[in-house]
Structure 1
Amino acid sequence: MDFVAGCIGGAAGVLVGHPFDTVKVRLQVQSVDKPLYRGTYHCFQSIIRQESVFGLYKGIGSPMMGLTFINAIVFGVQGNTMRMLGHDTPMNQFLAGAAAGAIQCVICCPMELAKTRMQMQGTGEKKSSRKLYKNSLDCLARIYNREGLRGVNRGMLTTLIRETPGFGVYFLSYDVLTRSLGCEPDDRYMIPKLLFAGGMAGIASWLSTYPVDVIKSRLQADGVGGVNQYSSIADCVRQSVRREGYMVFTRGLTSTLLRAFPVNAATFATVTLILLYARGQEEGPKDCEAAQPSHHTQIQQQGQPSSM
């Protein structure tokens, strides 16, 4: 039931947060010489006006498809790592989260590659005259046929650099916040407190790794239209900083932070309600500290990125 609840909660998070993720990616990869969007609000407005509201949901198939596998990996690795470490401490929560984040990159990287390519497809067009990719699976298949496994795993190193500390910070932040909020078994505000903790943990996680996410998005979007601009991670960083300054690493940050809180709130709310319904109130968490292992292994951060 934990696995089912986590998957459904994650799906709810994707539905809530995907429009913000589309805006984030568009802002991160747009040309500095001919920018299409002036900021987060203008990007939202332009996509809806030019591509309809469905433009905000381009590429949603990829995170939805990968969700079950990612949640299974995160929950299994995080739970087993905590059992191996033996003690439920903030540092162990960080280490377990980091391990889960690192291992799930195997699924996360190709999923985000397809998502990014689909989000960039038909930019500014209500009805694309020529669609390069029919859907996320077709996108990955075409990339594989053209570039092999290396192409499907484009951005793997940056994904690993982002996800490993990102998940560690998420689980650590959630652990610290839930302990400090001190909810009781009969506390009528217990669920809102858990939602707040999850949302704030999501924001903390994104802030800790956001510059890496900008580079990851640029590398994964590189090659759309047949032109490759970057030869490596270092080259992407150099070119980006030279052309746009260090503020390039904050591109799309507003939409990401706007997305982080409701995504995690939706995930936590859905998971909590499903578990309460399935198990009954008497088997629910007795206090915040006792709830830590179960909640940490049940709820995946979405981002992200992103998976967060």
Structure 2
Amino acid sequence: MALDFAAGCVGGAAGVLVGHPFDTVKVRLQVQNADKPLYRGTLHCFQSIVRQESTLGLYKGLGSPMMGLTFINAIVFGVQGNAMRKLGRDTPLNQFLAGASAGAIQCVICCPMELAKTRMQMQGTGEKKSKRKMYKNSLDCLLRIYNKEGIRGINRGMVTTLLRETPGFGVYFLAYDVLTRHLSCEPEDPYLIPKLLFAGGMSGIASWISTYPVDVIKSRLQADGVGGVHRYDGIVDCVRKSVRKEGWRVFTRGLTSTLLRAFPVNATTFATVTLFLLYMRKDDECILTGPDPQAAPMQPLQPQAQASSI
């Protein structure tokens, strides 16, 4: 368990570093004002951030996901592993249920972390030079929100985070399990790493597509109030106002950036975790067998960690 946790942390950190610039672009596109949009699309948003805020602007809010990474991976690995043991059989359905339970419980850390990340990413939006930064870093951001709004403030967007993470992690684990079974991934396979890269990347894409509309609403609610302007009274009000002003296409805002991010992030995570386990455990210890030998005579490597949701 300790080794799985360490592998997840290493893989998750690698995934965050690869995917954070795409996440920054996604958030900027999701929450920009529809009346006066700053960005025309994914590429223009990338170019604008680099031009106005330098390349480091793409990494705003990085400290928040890095700060919460250890706790999130501990929760996900612990809950998912225990859930699979309780469910008994290693089947695709049980992979979905175990992943969903892990996704739901880790929201306790994920929601405040993503709130800080979103607020940090929104700093300096549209400004050539940020004259005054509201937050020094992710921890300072959370402390300021807590001092002003209390526990409720740092848990802003919790309901939408639950609605995204619960099915999202379920789909993620299910897709990975189905793909690795179909591709016959085994430790001695010379093409194991390319197969895991593909399976991990596609699992990330499937997970995001399944819950992306909820993510748009979550980002808008967590960014609401930046600059002192509050536009939404809650989830329903946010959905109603967003659809009324921008139509149903609002729920695809930033989707291109998200999917571009999903594949390399999850592919990187799986490859990193796999290599770590191969190095630390040796080949014969990297095979996870299901509790029912008839249902799963030989399981592939299962380095299951999602960097997203992170």
Distance 2:154 2:288 in 1: 45
Residue of structure 2 in register with 1:196 after alignment: 198
In 2, distance between residues paired with 1:287 and 1:240?
Answer: 47
Q: What's the % identity of the aligned pairs?
A: 79
Contact 2:186–2:299 at 8 Å: present in 1 too?
no
CA distance in 1, matches of 2:173, 2:288: 20
- Distance in 2 (CA, whole Å) between partners of 1:207 and 1:279 is 34
Tell me the CA shift for residue 287 of structure 1.
Answer: 9.2
Partners of 1:185 and 1:17 lie apart in 2 by 27
- For 1:112, the aligned partner's letter is E
| 1:18 corresponding residue in structure 2 | 20
Q: 2:32 & 2:174 partners in 1: Cα distance?
A: 34
Question: How far off is 1:302 after superposition?
Answer: 1.7
The partner residue of 1:302 within 295, 303, 307 is 307
| Residue matched to 1:163 | 165
Whether the 8 Å CA contact 1:27–1:251 is kept in 2: the answer is: yes
> What is the match of residue 11 of structure 2?
9
The structural deviation recorded for 1:299 is 2.8
Whether the 8 Å contact between 1:51 and 1:124 is mirrored in structure 2 is no
The 3-state SS of whatever aligns with 2:226 is: coil
Q: Which residue of 2 aligns with 1:48?
A: 50
For 1:225, what is the secondary structure of its paired residue?
A: helix
Paired AA for residue 70 in structure 2: T
Matched position secondary structure for 1:199: helix
Unaligned runs of 5+ in 1: none
Select between 231-240 and 267-276 the one with higher mean Cα deviation.
267-276
After TM superposition, the score normalised by the length of structure 1 is 0.95
Cα distance in 2 for residues equivalent to 1:157 and 1:286 = 34
Tell whether the 8 Å contact from 1:59 to 1:135 is kept in structure 2 after alignment.
Answer: yes
Equivalent residues of 1:182, 1:287 under 8 A apart:
no
Partner residue in 1 for 2:287 = 285
Say if 1:66 and 1:108, in contact at 8 Å, map to a contact too.
Answer: yes
Question: Which residue of structure 2 aligns with residue 69 of structure 1?
Answer: 71
Residue 230 of structure 2 corresponds to residue 228 of structure 1: yes
CA apart distance, 1:127 = 3.8
| Counterpart amino acid of residue 305 in structure 2 | Q
CA distance in 1, matches of 2:227, 2:187: 56
What amino acid sits opposite 2:242 in the alignment?
S
Aligned AA (2:13): A
Counterpart residue number, 2:118: 116
Superposition TM-score, scaled by structure 2 size: 0.94
Matches within 5 A, 1:147-296: 147-285=149-287, 290-291=298-299, 295=302
For residues 287 and 253 of structure 1, what CA distance do their matches in structure 2 show? 36
Residue 203 of structure 1 deviates from its aligned partner by: 0.2
Answer with 265-274 or 147-156: which moved more. Answer: 265-274
User: What is residue 80 of structure 1 aligned with on the other side?
Assistant: 82
Partner of residue 293, structure 2? none
Deviation at 1:184, TM superposition (A): 4.1
Give unmatched runs, 5+ long, in structure 2: 291-295
Q: How many residues align?
A: 302
Give the Å deviation of 1:156.
0.1
